[in-house]
Structure 1
Amino acid sequence: MFSIIKELFGLLRSRQRKRIYVLQVLVILMTFAEIAGVAGLGAFMALIADVDAISGEGFYGKLYQLTGFSAPDSFIVGVGSGVLAILLLGAMLSVITTWRLSLLGQAIGVELSDRLYQHYLHQPWLFHTKNHSSFLINKIAGETGRITNSVIIPLLQVNAKVVFAVFMLLTVFIFNPLVATLGVLIFGTAYLVLYRSVGRLLINNGVAISEANAARHKLMSEGFGGIKDVLLLGRQMDFMERYHLTGQDLARANAINTTIGNVPRYLMEVVAFGAVIVLVIYLVKVQQGNMTKILPVLAMYALAGFKLLPAFQAIYLNVSIIKSGIPAFEIMKKDLECSQEEDFLASAASIAPPARHPVRDSIALRNVTFTYPGKPSPVLSNLNLIIPVNKTVGIVGSSGSGKSTTIDLLLGLILPDQGQLLIDEQPLAPTQVRLWQNVLGFVPQSIFLADGTIAENIAFGLPKDQIDYPRVQRAIELAHLDKLVEQLKDGINTRVGERGVQLSGGQRQRIGIARALYHDAEVLILDEATSSLDGVTEKLIMDAIQDFSGKKTIIMIAHRLATVKSCDIIYFMDRGSVLDQGTYDELLERNVMFRKMALHA
């Protein structure tokens, strides 16, 4: 466990480690204030047991003369008030220390979550095709929360309690080595035996909690994401039953961990009371029943025990929590290591850099071969195509011919295994991909719409105060959305509902086109953007797109060949390569397969 904690500490950024070191000063101050309170109470009880010492020549007599109290009663009240003030100071420092430890722990947790979110957002497209979004969300929100509340904060609490316990035991040891040694042996052995007996169970429960959380996130994502199908197929109870079963596993594991953490407290109370009884018998025998000597010693030991027992219990409880939280860290360790060197704030400032990679003459894929990871054969093989600037180019072919992969290559979302993406006959370097993407506008078959306003969805991803509303209005006009917006009471501030549920298919697609035009895209890429629309709506969308013919470079994938009929060039793909190319009429005349597709369109 300690090696894993060391790894976690090493994954923190330097500023967080410095804050932990600085906080140790506050922990030590709290400890000394607590020890001073215990020692002060012992001294006060010694004074109460022997009031005559005030008039003697000893410590209390000299202190009485030095403070200038007029009567012994006033001196006793003053000493008592001083001890109470020290105890109050110790309590205040304990509260402040606990608050600062919790604040630091939560701040570290937020930073880890930020780092993971940034890390996942910057992963390439292929990473996201292999990782379910609910799995990533569970890591960012669920497992990071577990690391925070089940590892980081308990670790900081353990550190504080261990420092306190060591110094308090050292004080007791100086006062009476035998009592301190026996106390450490009795309580240390008892807690160690308990911890050893439940360690494996805590780890197994930690794994069960991680698995249950991941399963519940996945069920929620699929249940709400496919809510229409869930309602139509009547699958509510199927989802609910699986969610309930994983919830039972989660509840059982959490309940066992809570019980393991708290049960020892009751056993230790019995041990503590037994130790007090033995201590009283020992003191009575050693001091021969002299209560003047017994009372202050007993009071100091009792208060020290009163302080130490909760500290021991807190150490055991938090170590148990850490043990059950370690599986969450094990799941996240690799991703946290990868994100350690990434600067969240610097990346946040460069989400949408204004620089572009302009295209003046042509876009080309030359001798491109691409194979998806884990697949035996390439999806694209020696692919060649050229897209002239300000021309409308169609890419057609049967399902599985490689059309969408070709688009992903043109978008810079994936890189070819062999061959090159050329811009004006110059290879696009990996460092230029972001600049190239700033030139592109992409309209997929299914437009993702957030539960926000029309304006927020057109300027997707930008905060409200950074949206250029005149530019939004211009994009709306270009996408032929202006008539729809004029009919809405709140205009561009109308909320569209989750995933645009309050809009028709055609309206969603036009918002997608407007989104592509918001940043004044030079190249529009449409991946079957009209395939799910009816003929009338498709014509309206195509009319909007044709308005840019000759002004922008347009690349279209389509199943329905009528959609690409007016394209300047059509590339006909089959089995990952270009089988033929030409205008619609040329391909219809000379290519049998193209003609068959046109007849069945």
Structure 2
Amino acid sequence: MLTSGIAELVSLGAVLPFLALLSDPTSMWQQPMIRGLALLMGFRAASQLLIPATLVFASAAVLAAFIRLTNLWLNLRLAAEVGSDLSCEAYRRELYQPYEVHVQRNTSSVIATITSKTDLTVVGLNSFLQLLTSAFVSIALFLGLLLIDASVALSAAALFCAAYYLLSITARKELHSNSNKIAEALSKQIKALQEGLGAIRDILLDGSQPTYLQVYRHSNHIQRILTSKNLFLGVFPRYALEALGMVGIALLGSILVLQRGSGSNVIPLLGALALGAQRLLPALQQIYNSWVTLKGVSAAMEAVLSMLNQPLELSCISLQPVKSFKAIFLENIYYRYGSTQKNVLRGLDLVVHRGERLGIIGSTGSGKSTLVDVLMGLLPPSDGRLMVNGLDLHDPAHAELLAGWRAEISHVPQNIYLADSSIAQNIAFGVPPSQIDMALVKHAAAQAHIASFIEEAPEGYRSFVGERGVRLSGGQRQRIGIARALYKQTQVLVLDEATSALDIATEAAVMNAVKSLSHNLTIVIIAHRLSTVSSCDRVIRLEKGLIQAEGPPGASPLMMQ
């Protein structure tokens, strides 16, 4: 940046002698320093200086341009590298946030921050670097103009700086407002896209495309219009001040000719001042435009910085494996979501022994899934303790154990998420393709009673399932989810209504396969149908966050309700 300023100063400094040589070579030859230097280089007449002077001037101009271009390339490359790091770090921070943070957060806003708002942050960083470069260039050019004519330089600088300052005062409030509205509109656009594409089956049935299109069009139009306003606020002073500068040069030329009485004496000075102003004004304009851009993307930058400032769980920093356990103790567990005062779990006590098959039943909203999320270590109890091997997993002193405990759990939810990749990659979810154990994939698929379907497909385990498994039936998606859990070979398997999408025969086959698994595997099954938990060692019934009954399947009248 400093080099760019020096290059511009050298380039401007070469203008005055070059124009003087063009307008009056004899006068230049009479300058002792110029004549002595020329004689030293072998020149004997003023006419011989024209070509060397032209080459020097052209070289200075080309060198200045080369330095400016190099500086621009380096600035853009730096902003791109920083932008890549910001986006990846924002995504990393988001992935490592606690589960209870994710369940309270809008994914469209998160996606907008990691993608669109990070892009705007890179734009802001580019603008900041350009502002610094232009500031150095402006200072160098101003110093050069001071050496040429101090009074003119001071007057011009005062005029232009005052004009830009007044413009910035006028535009600041609108830019800040536009910035917030643009950031909000970006989040709404992604929300509209997610909802529209995610519910495409219902939209096609209902013919409600215009509704979703209107939501997207409204937020998109707001964002585009406000962006164009910010661009206009950044650019429009240039044209007014360029005209003002031209008028100023014309008036200055007339005044100098009237004062000095000779145009030949004025032309070199006027040319140098004109060239300096011609370069100074764009530099000042760039400073102002960069400031406008920074203000225009400030809300997006604040959102990115807020995401980057999210604290990471201690358990995310390192992992201590839980090699074995005798029992899982949930002691006096209370849990409530967010700031609500209503407890979903209310003083619940439960012991799950290693190798036990535990069934959990209860009406909708009784707290079954919340209980399992607490047991898996995803939700920290509002009160109470989750104990494994005599240690409280949510005690900061044992933070590494929490991540180790989570790694020992396989979870099959009611709604399986499938990536738009091969069946093998979906079963070995999260494992790099080169590290997938295909023998284990096939074994897990066979246990989940999905192997025959996969092997009959033309591509077999390399078959793609489509986004969210759109090419598969609900039962097929569910069985791939079960195979995924079995592939992990963990100590605890949690089935959260995992067989609800299966027909009775397939469910019976899958549950028989689950029953045949190693007795060292602890299995927790959430279900609505009693038949699903009929093979469990023990069943508990939840109501309003408390265990209302427990015992062998069907042993109590309460179990049958």
Instruction: State TM-score, norm by structure 1.
Output: 0.88
Q: Is the 8 A contact 1:370 1:380 kept in 2?
A: yes
Measure, in 1, the Cα distance between the counterparts of 2:438 and 2:276.
67
> CA offsets per residue over residues 500-545 of structure 1, 9 Å max, x none?
1111222211211222122211210010101233223322332332
Query: Contact 2:148 / 2:269 at 8 angstroms: preserved in 1?
Result: no
Does 2:252 match 1:287?
no
Distance 1:287 1:360, change over 3 A: same
* 2:270 aligned to which of 294, 298, 303: 298
Are 1:227 and 2:192 counterparts? no
1:357–1:436: 8 Å Cα contact kept in structure 2?
Answer: yes
| Paired position in structure 1 for 2:407 | 438
Find the counterpart in structure 2 of residue 362 from structure 1.
327
Partner AA of 2:404 in structure 1? L
- Does structure 2 conserve the Cα–Cα contact (< 8 Å) formed by 1:391 and 1:549? no
State the 1:462 CA deviation.
Answer: 3.1
CA distance in 2, matches of 1:185, 1:425: 74
Q: 1:427 to 1:38 in 2, by over 3 A?
A: closer
Partner residue in 1 for 2:344: 379
Query: Does the 8 Å CA contact 2:412/2:482 hold for their aligned counterparts?
Result: yes
Is the deviation greater in 115-124 or in 540-549? 540-549
In structure 2, the residue matched to 1:411 is: 376
1:575 paired to 2:547: no
SS in 2 for 1:585: coil
Residue 469 of structure 2 corresponds to: 500
CA displacement at 1:211 relative to structure 2: 1.4
Pairing 1:46–2:20 present? yes
CA contact (8 A) 2:549 2:559 kept: no
Deviations 1:242-278 (A, max 9, x none): 1111122112211211111121111112101111101
Contact 1:38 1:300 in 2 (8 A): yes
What is the alpha-carbon distance in structure 2 between the residues aligned to residue 207 and residue 377 of structure 1? 34
The residue number in structure 2 matching 1:564 is 533
SS of aligned partner of 2:297: helix
8 Å CA contact 2:346, 2:545 repeated in 1: yes
Structure-1 separation of matches of 2:104 and 2:29: 84
State the alpha-carbon separation in 2 of the partners of residues 493 and 38 from structure 1.
66
* Residues 78 and 595 (structure 1), Cα distance of their counterparts in 2 relative to 1, 3 Å cut: same
- Asked whether the equivalents of residues 53 and 61 of structure 1 are also in contact (C-alpha less than 8 Å), the reply is no
Q: Report if aligned partners of 2:416, 2:477 keep a CA contact under 8 Å in 1.
A: yes
Contact in 1 for aligned 2:475/2:501 (Cα 8 Å): no
Matches within 5 A, 1:20-169: 27-53=1-27, 55-56=29-30, 58-69=32-43, 72-149=46-123, 151-169=124-142
1:547 Cα offset (Å): 2.5
Q: Is the 8 A contact 2:20 2:28 kept in 1?
A: no
1:72 to 1:338, Cα distance in 2 relative to 1, 3 A: same
Provide the residue aligned with 1:176 in structure 2. 149
Q: What SS is found at the alignment partner of 1:586? A: coil
Note the residue ranges of structure 2 that are not aligned, 5 or more in a row: none
| 1:201 CA displacement | 1.4
- Tell me the residue number matched to 1:484: 453
Q: 2:359 is aligned with what amino acid?
A: G
The amino acid of 2:68's aligned partner reads: S
Aligned residues: 557
The 5 A counterparts of 1:300-319 are 300-319=272-291
For structure 1, the 5+ residue unaligned runs are: 1-26, 597-601
| Structure 2 SS opposite 1:123 | coil
Q: CA deviation at 1:160?
A: 0.7
The one-letter amino acid paired with 2:160 is F
Answer whether contact 1:139 1:332 (CA < 8 A) is retained: yes
Alignment match, 1:263: 236
Q: Identify the residue that residue 474 of structure 1 maps to in structure 2.
A: 443
CA distance in 2, matches of 1:336, 1:443: 31
The amino acid that maps onto 1:373 is G
Identity, % of aligned positions: 32
Question: Which of residues 195, 202, 217 in structure 2 aligns to 1:244?
Answer: 217
Rounded to whole Å, the distance in 1 between the matches of 2:28 and 2:240 is: 43
**C-alpha RMSD of the superposition:** 2.2
Q: Report if the CA contact (8 A) 2:447-2:510 is conserved.
A: no
Q: Which residue of 2 aligns with 1:206?
A: 179
Deviations 1:366-410 (A, max 9, x none): 222222222222111221222222221101111121111110011
State yes or no: 1:455 paired with 2:455. no
SS state at 1:311 partner = helix
| 1:217-238 deviations in Å (ceiling 9; x for gaps) | 1111111122222222222110
Distance, in Å, in 2 between the alignment partners of 1:424 and 1:480 is: 35
Cα distance change of structure 1 residues 54 and 312 upon mapping to structure 2, 3 Å threshold: closer
Matched, 1:422 2:407: no
After TM superposition, give the deviation of residue 77 of structure 1 in Å.
0.7
CA-CA distance at 1:86 after TM superposition: 1.1
Letter in 2 for 1:297: L
Aligned mates of 1:111, 1:594 — CA distance in 2 = 54
Distance 1:71 1:177, change over 3 A: closer
> 1:329 aligns to what?
301
- SS state of the match for residue 310, structure 2? helix
Amino acid at match of 1:192: Y
State the TM-score, normalizing by the size of structure 2: 0.94
Q: Is the 8 A contact 2:12 2:144 kept in 1?
A: no
Matched residue, 2:188: 215
C-alpha distance in 2 between matches for 1:71 and 1:302: 29
Deviation at 1:285? 2.3
Give CA-to-partner distance per residue, 1:405-440, whole Å, 9 cap, x none.
110011100111222222244433443111011111
Are 2:555 and 1:586 aligned?
A: yes
Classify the secondary structure of the residue corresponding to 2:103.
helix
SS in 2 for 1:322: helix
d(CA) in 2 for partners of 1:557, 1:585: 15
Shift of 1:167: 1.6
